[in-house]
Structure formats: structure tokens, C-alpha cells
Amino acid sequence: MKLSLPKPTFWTMVLAFIWILGIYSAFTRFYYGLGTATNLSDQFPWGIWIGFDILVGVGLAAGGFVVAATVYIFNLKSYKPIARSTILTAFLGYLLVIGALLFDLGKPYNVWHPLVMWNPHSVMFEVGWCVMLYTTVLFLEFLPVLFERFRLERPLRIIRSITVPLVIVGVLLSTLHQSSLGTLYVIVPDKLHPLWYSGILPLFFFISAVAGGLAMVIFESYLSARAFGKELEFKLLSQLSRIIVVVLSLYLLLRLQDMGSQGALKYIFDFSTESIYFLIEVGLGVVLPILLFLTPRIRNNTAGLFLGAVFVLTGFVMNRLNVAITGMTASAGVEYIPSWMEVAVTASIVAAGIVIFRYAAKYLPIFSDEEPMGVHQPPLVAAGKSGKVAMGILGVILLAMVIGLGIGLTKDKLPDPGMRIEAAVVQPAGSLKLPDPIVYEMGESSPGAVTFSHENHVDPSAPQCKTCHSGLFKMRPEKAGALGSIQMDLLYEKKQCGVCHDGEQAFNVEDNCEVCHVAAE
Amino acid sequence: MKSAILTDLTKCIGCEACALACKEINELPVSAPMNMLSAYTWSAVEHRNGVNIRRQCMHCEEPACVSACPVAALEKTKEGAVIYDAGKCMGCRYCMVACPFGVPKYEWDKSIPTIQKCILCHEKALSQGKEPACTSACPTGATIFGERAALLREAQKRIDENPGSYVPHIYGMREAGGTSVFYLSAVPFADLGFPGNLKEDPYPKLTWKVLSKIPNIVSTGGVLLLGIWWIINRRIKLQDENPPSV
């Protein structure tokens, strides 16, 4: 195979442009830090790298577990033709999400810490673990494609035999972390706008991820069919659209009902920024696609199907961004608009996903529903020995998770009554409490020791501590040592006491030795 | 004992001695503005509506940040301080999102940033039985250190004895499930930029309610999925073996 640069078509130029900006942004982010590359701030610590790259990225990869479950657990083999490309999309999606996360983390080299530093009370801990495990599962689910491509029969047979346990683990992990991304926001009831905040955000995130993931399957099947001149699995996709209608309707009903019970319905039509974004999200992204997919003429038309999926995806993306950004703006008190570098990194990552998918589709058997080497295998029924082993491992993993969580629960420390701190006496507040006089011992050739008195220097009715602290003199006694030694030379240079004792603001130090120095007897 | 800080805003003269003492003991740059919390100002004095308002970490009894941290880099100590281990931190900033008081700050200008916040002088004073730098520096006794329960009694006593001088509210007693930093004020707290309407239940409870269901979801879900797979496959297998007789 000869290596050659791709022809400079319009799209390769666009790609090159995005990646050049992306590389520059990546360098800036890692060399100068998040503050230089992003518009993030103490008021707005999470931006589009979380809102889009993570929340949307993970959500749209949900097609993977839904289709895998449909094919392998519910045994609807008719969906098999789309299983592989869907699983590939999900696998790529998760890899890109992890890539994006490395941009967002302040210390990306510590990304493995949740593996050994446990905090089962943390939602983020759960998300981290699930994403790691599920990416591994997706890799294993994707392996058969590679094995087929390179005709590795034995490994292929092994991996096939553990398909079902793999898919089950995958479904469980997906359910957990899709919902957990919503749980992340359950801890901010005062910060997230009531149009989006809910105690059951995890449920909403899960349901909308199922709808979004399915819409992604339609979206991507349509585009791949066009790009690779493959026949569209039209009947399957049309059926998917009907499932989307059911899922979205359930979602809409639950959300409105939940908003009603929280008294948030009144915000829908107050035409604040939030209400407008909400109306677009729900109107265009939920209600409209339900209506579109309910219309047979649109559902049974390729373009109509595609259009409907685009609306679902729009609504999904808007929902995640609304939770992460729109809904958090009012409480943050500052407006967050991503910097061009944040956008460039996100665009580069999305572009990378498209390019990798294209190459995978070109060189790997992801659209073939045939199974060149496994046709006569009783497909998934006989799990065999390795299947049993896998089930055993699954059991051990489940057990470990339960035990781990159990330990985490009982780890709650109880206060140790033996612990004692010398309590500072609670002083009745009132008059100004000034430090005791400070005695400066005689130095060499000094006419006598000096006692500094705060009382002589501070007007209790309008104390100006800052005049002397902490620029001229440190405040902490243990630190005072360094600057505590007063030197007459410095005073003459208008330093230390000399700053004020210059003959203008206060008496001159040169002619008034005896005012401060008291000769030893 | 559980230590705490009581700040009586009516007695604060705004000298910023607490903020300076904090900078000295924690070796933070004095050049960073002292009227707002930042990565370089852990103890600030804000001047708002003619009131001097001391700001610092509230050191919640059940801190949202501690529960949020995926790597347990934040910890509530026996002495009452919420401390931070930069070595564990991976920089996800969920603690900043989770904190209802907006306390944890970030070193946005550094290529390897860490979270920055008041740690109640845990290492340099508290664990040695000394009081934090800020309260020891206060010249008016506006911000004082002591045992949590004793400070709450003291705060209540001040309100009871001078009902005209204070709004009848000890900020921090119930907010977010109770904190270790209490405030007394003559002006309603909502006018001073204190987050109002905070939940009186600890924030970690909100997420724990969801997280604690995971073992159930995993076990029930696993059994359910296995069951569905088994039933469906068995039926298909039986059908294949004994095709319905004509």
C-alpha cells in the first residue's frame, strides 16, 4: 500500500483547518493552563468540554448498549445488521470522551487515581469507574470485527462465547453511568435552574440517552449509507423511530409531571433566557420529532426519518448544554461563552471521530451482517466453558462492587471523643484587643532596648492595621523574627519605622533617640 | 473536640488583619485582592452595604465537596477542618460545582493547577492545639475560635441579650446541614451576599440517595437481563428442536 497525502478537497481543507487550530489550542491549554485557553472561571468551573464533549458524547454513544441488548439479549436478530456500526460508534465515542476529559482535567496524569483512591460517596467516582469498565466492554464487543478482519478463528470463537455476559455487563454499566451524569447535578439544587433541576435527573438523563442514542443510530446509518453507497436498513430504522416516539413521550410526560410537582411549570412561559432555551429544547427536540415520527408519510420516507433524528439529536444536545451551562448561569452570576480554543478542541475531537469511523468502515467488516467463520455455530445459546468462566467473573465483579460499596458505607468515621484541642477561651467581644507591647532587645552599639506599644500607634476608634501590616511588619509572631529586627540604617533610609517617622508624618528618628531607646540601668 | 469559628459582623472593623494573617501563615501572595476569595486569598473581607463581611470556607459538618471528590482528596477532619490533598486531586473541579457556598477556587493561571481554599490552619495550628491565624489576629474579637457547641451557645446568648443589634439568625447553624463557621449580623444575610434558602439537610444526602441504590440496580438488573436472555433463548431453542407439527 502506498502512502500518499489525501487530495486537497474541500473537506480535507476544512479538516486540516480545524486540526491546526486544535493543535494550537491543545498546546496553549497544556502549556499555559486552563485559564489561558478557556473562558472557565471560579464562578463557572465547567464549560463545553464537560457540557458537550462529556455529557453529549457519552449520551450519544448510548445507541451501543440499546442495540447490543436488542440483538443479543432480546434476541431480535433482525437488528443485527446495525449492531456492529453502532457498537463501533459507541466505542469511538467513549475513546473520544476520555480524550476530551484529559483536556478538561487540571491534572490529566492523575486520571487513574479513582482506581486506587476510592470515594464511593462520589458520583464522579462512579462515573469514572463505569466509563473505564464500559470502554473495556465496548472494546471486547468490538474485537470480533478485528478478529474477522485478520481471520483469527480461535480468539473469535472465545470472544463470541462470552458475548452475552459482556452485553449484560455493558447494559448495566451504561444504565449506571448514563444516569449518573444526571446525578452529578443532583447536588446543586440551588445552582441549577428549576426548569432543569430535579431529584430524578438521573432518570431523565437515562431515558433521554436511550432516545438520543437511537436517533444517533438513524443519523449515522443514513450518513454511512450515503457515504459508502450501502443500502439503508430502512425498515429497521423506521421501527427505531417508533420506539423513539414511545421513549420521548414517556420522557416528556415524566418531566412535565416532575416539574409540576416541584412548582416549576410557571417558569416555562416567563420568557426569561432560561424559558426560551427550554422551549426550544423541548419544542424542537421532543415535541416536534414525536409529531414527525407519528406521521407515517414522514416516518416511511428516508429524508423524513433523517430529519426527525436530527431534531431529536438537537434536543438532546440542547438539554445537556442547558443543564451544564444555561441552567447554571444565573446562579454563577457570570455569563460563560466558550473561548474559540475550547470550540477548536471540541471540533477537533468530533472531526477525529468522523475520520476514524470512516477508516474503520472502509477497512473493517462493520457493515457485513454475514459471519464468515461462525455461520454454523449455534449462535449464542451454548455459552460453553469460557462462557461459564465469564459468568463467574461477572459474578465476582458484581460481588466486589457490592462489597466495595458496603465497606464505603460503614467507613463513615465517628468522631473520636479522646481528641482534645486546647480551646481558645471565648472572649467577650467589645473593645479592641491589641497585642502586648513588643520588646526589642538592645543590639550592638544601641543606646538601649526599645518597647513598641500598639496602644500608642493605633487609634482604637479607627484602626488602620494595614498601614503597617503586613507590608512593613509581619503579623504572625513566629514570622516577625525575620523582619522583627529593626535596624537604624534602614530607618534612616525611610524603611521600617522610618516610613512614618520621617519628621513629617511623625517625629524624626535621627534627633529623638531617647524617645524610643531606654538606656539600661 | 469539634472546633469552629464565630464571626460577629457587627464587631468587624474591616481592618483585614484576618486576611493578612491567613496570607502569612499559608504563604499566599499579598498582591492578590483581599476583598474576594480566590486561589490566592483564602480569607477575604468584603465591604458591602457598609458592612465588612469576612469570607472563608464554611467547613460544613457534612461537606458537599468531600462527598463530590472522586479520589477522596478532600477530607473532613476530627478537629472540624475540611482539608485538601493536592497529590490525590486529578482536577475535575466537581468540588467547585458541588459547594453550595462557592468556596473552592482554582489556579486557572497555572499549567498544573490545584484547588485552593481555607483549611482552618489544620496542619500549622489546629493539629498542634493552636487556634487558626485569622482569629488570633483579629483585634476586635469579631472573629473568634472555639468549641463548636460553645460558640453556638455564645452566638445565641448575644442574640438573646441584644435582640435589637442582630437579625435573629445564626448563619451556619442549620445551613447545608450545619457548618463550623457561624455568622451574626445586624443586616439580613441575604443582603450581604450569603446564599439564601440553602437546604437544611446535608448536600451529600441528595446524591447518596441515588448512589445507594446502585447495588440494587446492579443485582436486580443483572438477574433480570440474564433471565430475559435465558427465557428467550430457551424458547427459540425448543422451537428449533421441535418445530411445531403440522
Cβ within 8 Å of residue A478, ≥6 positions away: none
Size of interface A-B (CB pairs under 8 A): 276
> Strand B3-8 vs strand B181-184: parallel, antiparallel, or unpaired?
parallel
User: Which chain B residue's Cα is nearest to A404?
Assistant: B215
At which residue does the C-alpha cell 467507613 appear? A411
Portion 76-105 of B in contact with A at CB < 8 A: 78-79, 88-94, 96-98, 100, 102, 105
ipTM above threshold 0.85:
yes
Interface membership of B168 toward A (CB under 8 Å): no
Where are chain A's structural domains?
A: 10-370+381-410, 438-518
Domains of chain B: total: 2
Same domain, B51 and B138: yes
Residue B155 has pLDDT above 90, yes or no: yes
The three cell numbers locating residue A521: 540601668
Both B147 and B187 in a single domain? yes
Return residues 3-62 of A near B (CB < 8 Å).
30-36, 40-43, 45-46
**How far apart are the C-alpha atoms of B236 and A73, rounded to whole Å?**
12
pLDDT score recorded for residue A475: 67
How many alpha carbons lie under 13 Å from residue A225 in its C-beta half-sphere?
A: 16
B207 within a domain of the structure (yes/no): no
| CATH, domain range A438-518 | 3.90.10.10
Share of chain B above pLDDT 70, in %: 99
Any domain includes B17: yes
List, in order, residues 6 or more apart from B75 with CB less than 8 Å away.
B66, B82, B83, B84, B85
Query: What pLDDT, on the 0 to 100 scale, is given for residue A399?
Result: 59
Residues B194 and B102 occupy one common structural domain: yes
List chain A residues with CB under 8 Å of B35: none
- Three-state DSSP state, A158: helix
Residues of A whose CB is below 8 A from B22: none
- How many Å apart are CA B115 and CA A105, to the nearest integer? 12
Specify the CATH superfamily of domain A10-370+381-410: Formate dehydrogenase/DMSO reductase domain (1.20.1630.10)
Identify the domain containing residue B218 by its residue range.
Answer: 213-241
Q: What was the pLDDT predicted at A410? A: 44
Q: Is residue B129 part of a domain?
A: yes
State pLDDT tens for residues B46-72: 988 888 999 999 999 999 999 999 999
Same domain, B88 and B34: yes
Q: SS3 for A456? A: helix
End-to-end CA distance of chain B: 84
pLDDT digits (tens, 9 = 90+) for A397-438: 445 545 554 554 443 333 333 333 333 333 333 456 677 788
Closest CA to B37 of B112, B96, B98: B96
Q: Which residues of A touch B154 (CB under 8 A)?
A: 426
Residue B246 included in any domain: no
pLDDT at A409: 42
Residues of chain A in contact with residue B177, where contact means CB-CB under 8 angstroms, are none
Do residue A33 and residue B110 have CB atoms under 8 angstroms apart?
yes
Residue of A nearest to B63 (CA): A187
Q: Do B72 and A119 touch (CB under 8 A)?
A: yes
pLDDT of residue B106 exceeding 90, the answer is yes
* CB-nearest partner of A432 from B70, B140, B199: B140
Judge whether B139 is closer than 8 Å to chain A, CB to CB. Answer: yes
Clarify whether residues B154 and B235 are in a common domain.
no
Chain A residues with CB-CB distance to B64 below 8 A: 187
Q: With an 8 Å Cβ cutoff, are A433 and B102 in contact? A: no
What single-letter amino acid sits at A211? A
Task: Based on the fold, state whether residues B144 and B230 are members of the same structural domain.
Answer: no
CB atoms within 10 A of CB B26: 17
B110 and B40 in one domain?
Answer: yes
Looking at the structure, tell me whether residues B136 and B218 fall in a common domain: no
Which amino acid, residue A455?
E
Strand partners, B246: none
Alpha-carbon distance of B75 to B85, in angstroms, equals 8
Together in a domain, B40 and B153: yes
A-chain residues near B113 (CB < 8 A): 33-34, 106-107
Cα A115 from Cα A113, distance rounded (Å): 5
Helix (H) / strand (E) containing B26: helix B17-26
Q: 31-60 in B: which are within 8 Å (CB) of A?
A: 37-39
A469 versus B129: the higher-pLDDT residue is B129
- CATH number for position B59: 3.30.70.20
